[in-house]
A and B are shown apart, each in its own frame.
Chain A
Amino acid sequence: MTRSSKKRLNTILIEIVLITVSFIFIMPIILAITMSLQPPESVFSFPPKFFPTAFHWKNYVDAFNTVPFARLILNSAIIAVMITGGKIITGTLAGYAFANFKFRGRSFAFSFLFATLFLPAETIMILPLFNLMNKLGWVNTYWAMTIPFMASATNTFLFRQHFMSIPSSLEDSARIDGAGPMTYFIKILLPLSKAIIGGATIINFVYSWNMYLWPLIITMEDKMKTVQIGVRMLISAESANNWGIIMAGTMIAVLPTLLLFFTLQDLFVRSLVRSGIKE
């Protein structure tokens, strides 16, 4: 075989594999959409339907009636916005301290923060954090669901890294012009960090929207739960029978993050690789 025909064969092979795996990976989402639009009588059709044959929007209405989804969406949104905002604020402030100031105890403070990366959040949540919330009387509140997550080492390090890359001559000239540290931070540093703040915002938003274990433990009443828990409630309520309604609920829960993802895919990818964080 000549090199070029060998190359063409390779390309065809790669195409076939990629078409197959990308089809397999997107399929669960497509089938969920299809199922969410099936009327009850065709949910159990055999073989199962692969493409929507109907647009039975009533499943979405039923999902809202079975589980208080409107309230759950509001809860998830409040929690995600508060955690994201909190992380960006504490992260930029602490990142600024580490990047632009020399102070006593800096390396100790840095290690102290760094060490939190070794304490897995899930194990902290399950017993000790829950006990603490009990003592504080925060069980079943927004405080419990947001404040403990409003700071993180990963965000701080991300901003510190970025602030360190901004030339210090800018800070010097700002100081000569009489700008205090806070003015420099707000007027110069933050505007220069829009891209990185944007990337951190979507990653933090997706992380907090998708939280499951903590809201499951800390909420007692249905009206305080989040959409992720709502889908679980829907499975129990429908006792895994009307999959049309369950998948409608699933689509409601996944839509915000999926939309963010499809519109801002490149930003997602870049921020993910840059921060190296899984959140």
Chain B
Amino acid sequence: MRKLYPYLLLIPTFVIIIMFIYYPAGSALKLSLYKTSPFGNRTIYVGLRNFRQLFEDPEYLYAVRFTLIYVSVSVAITIFMSFIIAYMLTRGVPGTRIYRTFLFAPYAVSPAIAGTLWTFLLNPVVGHVNYFFAKLFGIQVAWLTSKPYAFYALIFATVWKMLPFDMIFYIASIQDVSLDIIEASTLDGANTMTRVWRIIFPLVSPITFYLVIMNIVTTMFSSFAIVDVMTSGGPGGYTTNMIYKLYLDAFTFQKRGPAAAESMIMFAIMLVVTIIYFSFAERKVHYQ
């Protein structure tokens, strides 16, 4: 009887992941190799034609390029800012708790709401941030519907939403760096900047690595809500990233074969990211 127990305990989890993760993933793979006739009643095997079509489609190639820029810019800014802020929050200055609460608050806000809030703040008529930019830099633009401002708008919302998560992990890992090391470097006469970037930043590199990976995944995949609410991929496809393009091709344009091929490409990217993570983690990352 006891022998059967573990299998029984695993049934609910495995039924769900097989039915709702593996089976659909498999059917996407199959779909990516087929073409559906215009009325959706027949499917024809076309091999890799869907993929070839994608790589010849300038719109898709644009979405890939835009994703690359959007991901690298937002991840770089978030990592840099969250590390600096986390460092300052571990210096024990008065008021730390309240600063931390304020900075962490966006974590509880959904990406869709983050998009809504920034749509409001950047509104050319009622928006406070728009007002601020107009007063300070003389920029008076329709943020969400003009290039390149729509891109900046997405970056604002993304960094605002993503930073709290990184900050919490950095705070925890900076607190783990032994005080002796910080003390010793102070006595050596290392100034603050040197100490932070040459000594502390390398010491928390395992967590940086983890956060970069997590942030890449977030900006690649979970950015859908922010893009949908703020720009709907516009103006004229300017902010259409890969996940948004996939959504448009699947539902708006009903291009099922190419959409399935796009899913496969995104799986492949995820696989590469994960492999990099684990082959690197094996050697370098020591979990607390």
The answer to whether A and B come from one shared complex is yes
Which residues of A line the B interface, CB within 8 A?
10-11, 14-15, 17-19, 21-23, 25-29, 31-32, 35, 43-44, 46-48, 50, 89-91, 93-94, 96-98, 101, 103, 106, 109, 112-113, 116-124, 126-132, 147-151, 153, 156, 181, 206, 209-213, 216-217, 228-229, 231-232, 235, 240, 243, 246-247, 250, 253-254, 257-258, 260-262, 265, 268-269, 272-273, 276, 278
Q: How far is the CA of A229 from the CA of B259 in the complex (A)?
A: 24
Could you tell me if A212 and B95 are in contact, using CB atoms closer than 8 angstroms?
Answer: no
Q: How far is the CA of A257 from the CA of B111 in the complex (A)?
A: 13
Could you tell me if B101 and A119 are in contact, using CB atoms closer than 8 angstroms?
Answer: no
Beta-carbon contacts under 8 Å, B93-108 to A: 93-96, 98-99, 101-108
Please indicate which of the listed interface residues A124, A126, A257 has the most CB atoms of chain B within 10 Å of its own CB.
A126
> B5-32 CB contact bits vs A (8 Å, 1 = yes)?
1110110111011011111110110010
The chain B residue sitting closest to A240, CB to CB, is B123
> B241-261 CB contact bits vs A (8 Å, 1 = yes)?
001001100110000100110
Q: How far is the CA of A18 from the CA of B96 in the complex (A)?
A: 8
Could you tell me if B118 and A28 are in contact, using CB atoms closer than 8 angstroms?
Answer: yes
Q: How far is the CA of A268 from the CA of B104 in the complex (A)?
A: 10
The chain A residue sitting closest to B266, CB to CB, is A123
Could you tell me if A212 and B225 are in contact, using CB atoms closer than 8 angstroms?
Answer: yes
The chain B residue sitting closest to A96, CB to CB, is B9
**Given A48-B131, A235-B119, A278-B214, also A25-B98 (CB < 8 A):** no
CB neighbours (8 Å) of A46 from chain B are 131
**Given A120-B217, A213-B224, also A25-B103 (CB < 8 A):** yes
B196 to chain A, nearest CB (A): 11
A sample of 30 cross-chain residue pairs with beta-carbon separation below 8 angstroms, ordered by A number, consists of A10-B91, A11-B91, A18-B89, A19-B99, A23-B102, A26-B105, A29-B106, A48-B127, A97-B5, A98-B6, A101-B9, A116-B22, A119-B21, A119-B25, A119-B270, A120-B266, A126-B246, A127-B246, A128-B260, A131-B24, A181-B5, A212-B225, A217-B251, A231-B113, A235-B116, A254-B113, A261-B105, A269-B168, A273-B168, A273-B172
Interface of B is mostly: helix
A82 to chain B, nearest CB (A): 13
B233 to chain A, nearest CB (A): 14
CB neighbours (8 Å) of A235 from chain B are 116, 119, 229
Is B72 an interface position by the 8 A CB rule?
Answer: no
A44 to chain B, nearest CB (A): 6
Which 5 residue pairs are nearest across A and B when measured between Cβ atoms? A210-B110, A128-B24, A148-B20, A261-B108, A97-B9
Could you tell me if B101 and A262 are in contact, using CB atoms closer than 8 angstroms?
Answer: yes
What size tier do the contact residues of chain B reach?
Answer: 35 or more
CB neighbours (8 Å) of B10 from chain A are 93-94, 97, 109
Could you tell me if B17 and A106 are in contact, using CB atoms closer than 8 angstroms?
Answer: no
Could you tell me if A93 and B165 are in contact, using CB atoms closer than 8 angstroms?
Answer: no
Could you tell me if A181 and B2 are in contact, using CB atoms closer than 8 angstroms?
Answer: yes
Could you tell me if B120 and A109 are in contact, using CB atoms closer than 8 angstroms?
Answer: no
Beta-carbon contacts under 8 Å, B58-93 to A: 81, 85, 88-89, 91, 93
The chain B residue sitting closest to A130, CB to CB, is B250
**Given A15-B94, A103-B7, A127-B250, also A91-B105 (CB < 8 A):** no
CB neighbours (8 Å) of A209 from chain B are 110
Q: How far is the CA of A11 from the CA of B92 in the complex (A)?
A: 9
A275 to chain B, nearest CB (A): 11
**Given A32-B117, A96-B9, A126-B250, also A148-B28 (CB < 8 A):** no
Could you tell me if A127 and B123 are in contact, using CB atoms closer than 8 angstroms?
Answer: no
Could you tell me if B113 and A228 are in contact, using CB atoms closer than 8 angstroms?
Answer: yes
CB neighbours (8 Å) of B103 from chain A are 21-22, 25-26
Could you tell me if A126 and B210 are in contact, using CB atoms closer than 8 angstroms?
Answer: no
CB neighbours (8 Å) of A32 from chain B are 117, 120
**Given A131-B27, A132-B23, A276-B210, also A151-B131 (CB < 8 A):** no
Is B271 an interface position by the 8 A CB rule?
Answer: yes
Could you tell me if B17 and A116 are in contact, using CB atoms closer than 8 angstroms?
Answer: yes
The chain B residue sitting closest to A260, CB to CB, is B108
Is B37 an interface position by the 8 A CB rule?
Answer: no
Is B222 an interface position by the 8 A CB rule?
Answer: yes
Could you tell me if A269 and B94 are in contact, using CB atoms closer than 8 angstroms?
Answer: no
Could you tell me if A26 and B102 are in contact, using CB atoms closer than 8 angstroms?
Answer: yes
Could you tell me if A253 and B25 are in contact, using CB atoms closer than 8 angstroms?
Answer: no
A176 to chain B, nearest CB (A): 15
Beta-carbon contacts under 8 Å, B211-247 to A: 214, 217-218, 220-222, 224-225, 228-229, 243, 246-247
